[in-house]
Structure 1
């Protein structure tokens, strides 16, 4: 049986940052990754735009990952790659983890866990597209894997469903490789991707964006031959008489990401129905003592810089973890917030500024975010423009507020 202090599950940017932080915090650290190579999804993201916040440079995905991988190797942290975690059991003193790789079945004990398992893409079946099951229906990440890692073109003429960032980036990538992107279709009335990607990936390449329209049916037996698109109403229900058939050989799906939390669920970790990730406190510890969550497993981030930031926080906290009695209060929000992370505040850890991430429920202009303690305003910050696709980051100093277990801590949005 192998023993260690902290186990980090996931070798992407969040996991690498968490492992480095835990090791620097004095903990014996082991990282487990199911793929043969570290780096996560960054390995196939050859476009630039990574690292602007963290490194003040514009890096490609592999360049960004390489910096943490090099630091990881220099720190001498142990990594088990091509290794799958099959079971985790909580004990009185920590955790017993069972994993499988080419050498056989491994049993490892640890005092704390960091779940950096990332997220997965929604598929055609999860958005209820009717029709047969022909070849030629890809998630945007799969299409990106084919082109950037395998050197294979998945399509010559395609339709993209969903205006998430990876879909926008793939619209540009496919166009650069010679494919025809007939259009990007988005069921919502507003686009889902970052503004910069809308301009750099669609506008600059004359790729049309169709809002309030979605794909309702696919055609083809062995290979996709066409899709049916239809306008939708405010409830995103198809409008009769608006359907049209578009000939194409592929449908690329960019219809959302889901945090990967099967291991968290198996441990009894409480999930937030809004983020689909764990409910956590400001140290990113979940509802289960000793289990920390970070990166896209916690909530879907816009920028990898913030994924790494949360990994550093979780890794540091995991190294410092001890089985002290928890004293927490909830952070409550009004309906103008789509979600907020963390959802709880540990009263034992308010000595430094707390980083809060949030998204607005809808597009808001000229508004103030107000922090209230027992209905008393303690902080106000003005925002000229908030959009749901763009995550916001806020630092709040709770140290001087004398918070207690009975404190009501709430966040409100005042729209002018």
Structure 2
């Protein structure tokens, strides 16, 4: 039988979270190696502002929404049925059909919970290999960590045949939770990078950029970035601060804008909002410095931030807290500029130091780009992953 790899996501595509980028690179990488792969979104949970076909090809990636629709029904009863019943019946039929025709592997981009247990059990029943990807510590345990939940978590993982972890730390964490000898591989976060490498600098304006969706201080640390910039800007009025990307939390945006207004930085701080990919990449490549200020003890830990990987490919210096497994990959003052915490004064001091030495910024940025190309290149990583799954 021919081999087929199915990627299953509970997030919408292509306008979902960072996992959308990972799934694109997986499919591109698999198909480069002669694979046959496609993406299926379990739920019609695309935000109403987006209008796309329920099936098609995006960035060379064949995708479909399982229920042949991209938005949930407005009727509450129908919505409940779509979420809890229709999708299970359709998934069972879908997997049964493919398993008859192919040697099937199913890669899940989901949380480990009761729903995942049902979907993985269906795959197991029809002899499809179940592959689970983990980019952060398990949500089910992070919310409440007690013995009963650990027992249930182990049950939910019962039908997983192979694991794909973003970091060695995650792999060790899952092994401690499952107390099991697992078949696993560590594949760092993967991102599309060709358009970043092709983009040329077109401006000499100096600005610090945060590129990516705006969500929360726990995930992004943007309040502290603003407080740091307010202090730094007093002596560096020519430098701007630009937040590039979609704002997924409006209340959080209001909080950030209050900080801007309180410090009278309206002319120096820009929020672009959602923009197309080419404009996004242009901001990324033309920045003088790229920053992310997620704390070392953030709720969102364990994996490798795809944002940082994207930053590195830009060739611009990256300022970040020394956290997660990036400390095992990157070297301070060589291919990244690490700080010990995300306090405003720490960030401000780093801003001042980096802008006092353009040669340092250039060296760190150039080395970071070279490191990313040789260590976070999705063509190489996905080839390795394809061989593992196959």
- Normalising by structure 1, we get a TM-score of 0.30
The structure with the greater share of residues assigned to helix is 2
User: Which has a greater percent of strand?
Assistant: 1
TM-score (norm 2): 0.31
